[in-house]
Amino acid sequence: MNKVTYFTEEGLNKLKDELHFLKTKGRADIANQIAEARDKGDLSENAEYDAAKEAQGLHELKISKLEDSLSTARIIDESDINTDKVSILSKVKIENIKLNKTFDYTIVSEEEANLQEKKLSVDSPIGKGLLGRKKGEEVKVSIPSGEVIFKIIDISL
């Protein structure tokens, strides 16, 4: 059984839109690629056909994964979130002690994570390290480049 995945309403809608696109236009585009490749002759020696069939398999796998995520998706009600400690959907201001630099992140599900939008996955090393911690606490987090100490400056919604 898959674990429940929590989303913001916006994140869940993006996921549904992506799934709809993949099932409609995405499938149609791949079907056209396969048809074009098939028209080029002998399928046993047709690299374009093989590539299009492989792309179709990957496309269907992505659709399947999105459907799995949606089947266990739950929308988080912001009124249920306690800002006394870091949890999913918390907006967290943290300071990298060594660099004396602050960062603002929103803690989100793995599927919604996007560093360019400052959305940090709850399953990432930093996300895991911050979960359940309170304002003012220092947190030591192991990341691929070593250990980093963050101080939680603020927690909000």
What mean pLDDT is predicted for residues 9-26?
91
> pLDDT tens digits, residue range 42-61?
767 778 888 888 999 999 99
Check residue 2 and give its pLDDT.
60
| Global pTM value | 0.68
Give yes or no: residues 108 and 140 share one domain: yes
Residue 76 has pLDDT above 90, yes or no: no
Check residue 107 and give its pLDDT.
92
Residue 58, CB-side half-sphere exposure with 13 Å CA sphere: 7
Check residue 149 and give its pLDDT.
94
Give yes or no: residues 100 and 145 share one domain: yes
Give yes or no: residues 87 and 111 share one domain: yes
Range of the domain at 141: 79-156
Q: How confident is the model at residue 11 (pLDDT cuts 50, 70, 90)?
A: confident
Give yes or no: residues 113 and 132 share one domain: yes
Last residue of a domain, one of 21, 51, 75: 75
**Element holding 120 (H helix, E strand):** strand 119-121
**Of residues 80, 31, 93, the one with CA closest to residue 56:** 31
Give yes or no: residues 47 and 85 share one domain: no
